[in-house]
Structure 1
């Protein structure tokens, strides 16, 4: 600054208030949440070994082996999985659903065709699945194109399940706006009555989907954070290419 440039008047310091500022109403709950969050343990158990060198040439046998291991380890609901889809604009969504089967055709799950996931798959028939089994520090990720199984497969799927599953399918209207819970109660009671009377009652919207994977990743956690990640990628059907990934 040159000597001819007038010095701007300084801004008087603000006078501190004699009263302390009241704590934010959300400060204490947030602090408690962070404390609770950071106190949680991860894999507070002995983790199994996994040698990718002896893994099978295809992912399905390894998935079946790991699933049986999860059941033997007492993993809660190992047959549930996260299902990720995208809408017509490419916006992602995820929810937890039940695995209905896994075979040479792919990984099977079911829903109503008119549900949110059903609409997503109609416009973008590609999805990803995620299994998390903390009892053994294991994750499995599966992704690939999704096709619709024939209607007779969907009918057989419901016949093989419980009366409650059929009743739920008969209620239908999944993902639609519900005006009141009482309306759901009435529809559910009527569906249960019909399911008991008609175990083969038609459910046209009930759909079985099959995800034919082009990539499957097996993740084995390690206490020293040297996690094993083995990925199967489809080279050309039915050949798979196996690769290790950095954790």
Structure 2
């Protein structure tokens, strides 16, 4: 009689997965630039060159009025001296969170290089002009979805999504320069930015930039 083989448990499957496969890049904290923006740009460029999919994807974590955290993945729009920028409809859950608590965290993860970047700081909306520029640079479908303004609301009939989208597309065809007034470009000005480089032996390298006046201090952290 054949012995029945048991299927592995989820825990066993997770424990069997490989971590930090392949060659990992070198990271020397003694050779980093003076600002986290410059180091982030270097790492982002290397991720793009390595073929990381959606290297500009990031997790935005906000806090609701009751303090409950919420996280979702969206796309980085820009990075510069002022900070890291992203966009959203002001009436969306994340927009409402930011209106109540104008602070957030951003997390980037590039698995091919075992690299992670974590940011925390205050979030402020950009000018209506910059928000409009961002909106008009979006694809037609993305603008139509934002124009519908129904993100995260209860959906009783899936067919209503197509109907609302078609209505929005028709309006955008009539008014190609239409901008949703609630569309907002936000910028997170970090007070701390941590760069994490994974190591196969778990001797990870962690370097944090801490805001100090108009400049930055650097601090190594234990793995």
Same fold by TM (over 0.5)?
Answer: yes
The residue that corresponds to 1:189 in the other structure is 166
- Specify every segment of 5 or more residues in structure 1 that has no aligned partner in the other structure, as ranges: 1-27
The 4+ residue runs of structure 1 with deviation greater than 3 A are: 28-32
SS at match of 1:214: strand
Correspondences of 1:121-140 after superposition (within 5 Å): 121-140=98-117
1:110 counterpart residue number? 87
Unaligned runs of 5+ in 2: none
Question: Could you say which residue in structure 1 is the equivalent of 2:75?
Answer: 98
Take 2:51 and 2:6, find their aligned partners in 1: how far apart are those partners? 34
Q: Which has the larger radius of gyration?
A: 1
**Superposed displacement of residue 185, structure 1:** 1.4
Tell me: CA distance 1:153–1:29, structure 2 relative to 1, closer, same or farther (3 Å).
Answer: farther
Report whether the alignment pairs 1:158 with 2:135.
yes
Tell me the SS of whatever aligns to 2:37.
helix
| Residue 217 of structure 2: aligned partner | 241
The alignment partner of 2:113 has SS state of coil
Partner of 1:86: 63
Q: Any conservation in 2 of the 1:216–1:232 contact (CA below 8 Å)? A: yes
Report the TM-score when normalising by structure 1.
0.85
RMSD, matched Cα = 1.6
What's the CA shift for 1:30?
A: 8.5
3-state SS of 1:213 partner: strand
| Alignment counterpart, residue 70 of structure 1, candidates 20, 40, 47 | 47
Contact persistence 1:163–1:196 (CA under 8 A): no
The corresponding residue for 1:55 is 32
Q: What is the alpha-carbon distance in structure 1 between the residues aligned to residue 82 and residue 142 of structure 2?
A: 24
How do 1:142-181 residues align onto structure 2 when only pairs under 5 Å count? Answer: 142-181=119-158
SS at match of 2:86: strand
TM-score after normalising by structure 2: 0.93
Q: Is structure 2 residue 96 aligned with structure 1 residue 119? A: yes
